[in-house]
Amino acid sequence: MTQTKVELDLDGKIGGTISTADNTDTLTLKSTDADANQGPVLNFKRDSSSPADDDILGQLTFTGENDASEAIEFVRIRAGMVDVTDGTEDSRYTITTYTGGSQYGRLNIEAGETVFNENSTDLDFRVESDSQTHAIFLEASSSAVGINGSPSRKFHVRCPDADVYGLGVDIDNSSGNPYGSNVRYTALSPDNRTSTFLVTSDATTSRCIIYSDGDIENHDNSYGSLSDERIKQNITDANSQWDDIKALKIRNYKKKDDVRQYGDSAWEQIGVIAQELEAANMDKLIKHNDPSPADVASDSSFGILYEDGDTIPYGKQIGDVKEVKEKVKGVKYSVLYMKAIKALQEAMARIEALEAK
């Protein structure tokens, strides 16, 4: 293969202008190789004897005139060296365009990230799929993201297909402690029935709401569990619950986290104490959970929280639980209610027997 090298040397500088008065190709790079390797190659080479960080490697500029006969750099493509240290070289690649009379960065490919809209202007980002014009859509004016449409929430998923879940979360790790969704108020504690953690609605009305105070409300006031006989075995009559229910101590108390938030205005609750159930030999009603940050704040025996100055791992933040020392004891109230129903039946039988006499 014959190679031809052409150089224009003007006082130590390579330069020149190629002009055309029509719309035909101004410059063509042609390769007649028939192999599967590189074709025509345009190489921008910065051959400095003293390379330095942030040197520009090369630039393509698309310049035109506006209606005031001013030369405008409408589009610029630039490549640069961020770090020229041997073994740790970094580079960047940027594309800028004019929008609304000003030049803005549209795409910045950096060593550690790829950024769209670096200069924070009102530029939407949209990805089309085979059937959706807004398969992924970032609306710049509202800083909201939509899937399959324009968003009317901060993160809005629209599902136009039947028999398909609109949102799915698969936790694929096979060890450790997997976690699902986590909804947190990080700047305030509303603790009321105005703010919500979850609202489920159909086209007519809200069907189930979890409020920010933890209350759950559903439209039909119905709470249940699978109870079909066909999914159960070893079905027998329950033992007497009389002694267990009689041994229960029903207490009034205040939660320490409510006292921290409301002081003397914290309200009294009614319920049982897990340790007292254990003392009454009702251990099977006790469940053990990892402590929440509020639990650790209530009693340091539960663990330690991340503080300012700690090394915070991925997925954690200041105020999260850093170390669990002891589990928090909870009570299976749903089972306790069934025990109470059984005891009530026993009481009814005794009453009916006395009435019969």
Is residue 335 situated within a structural domain? yes
Is residue 207 situated within a structural domain? yes
Burial of 296 (0-12, 13-18, 19+ CB in 10 A): buried
Question: pLDDT per residue over 184-235, tens digit each?
Answer: 999 999 999 999 999 999 999 999 999 999 999 999 999 899 999 999 999 9
Range of the structural domain that residue 200 is part of = 185-223
Q: Does 210 lie in the same domain as 152?
A: no
Q: Does 341 lie in the same domain as 269?
A: yes
* Three-state secondary structure call for residue 293: helix
Q: Does 78 lie in the same domain as 133?
A: yes
Question: Could you tell me the CA-to-CA distances from 271 to 227, 267, 329 in Å, in that order?
Answer: 27, 13, 14
Q: Which of 139, 157, 175 is the last residue of a domain?
A: 157
Is residue 40 situated within a structural domain? no
Q: Which of 223, 246, 280 is the last residue of a domain?
A: 223
Is residue 346 situated within a structural domain? yes
Q: Does 243 lie in the same domain as 219?
A: no
Is residue 126 situated within a structural domain? yes
Q: How many helices (H) and strands (E) does the chain have?
A: 5, 18
User: What is the Cα–Cα distance from 186 to 190, expressed in whole angstroms?
Assistant: 11
Is residue 111 situated within a structural domain? yes
pLDDT of residue 303: 97
Is residue 279 predicted with pLDDT exceeding 80?
Answer: yes
Q: Does 305 lie in the same domain as 328?
A: yes
The structure tokens listed for 45 are 């080479």
Domain count, the chain: 3
Q: Does 351 lie in the same domain as 265?
A: yes
The dihedral of CA 265, 269, 274, 277: what is its sign?
positive
Q: Of 28-37, 57-66, 136-145, where does mean pLDDT reach its minimum?
A: 28-37
User: What is the Cα–Cα distance from 259 to 268, expressed in whole angstroms?
Assistant: 10
pLDDT band at 2 (very low <50, low <70, confident <90, very high): very low
Is residue 190 situated within a structural domain? yes
Question: pLDDT per residue over 46-84, tens digit each?
Answer: 999 999 999 999 999 999 999 999 999 999 999 999 999
Is residue 264 situated within a structural domain? yes
Q: How many other C-beta atoms lie within 10 A of the C-beta of residue 123?
A: 17
The structure tokens listed for 104 are 């803005």
Q: Does 240 lie in the same domain as 207?
A: no
pLDDT band at 240 (very low <50, low <70, confident <90, very high): very high
The dihedral of CA 83, 84, 86, 89: what is its sign?
positive
Q: Does 348 lie in the same domain as 243?
A: yes
Q: Does 352 lie in the same domain as 243?
A: yes
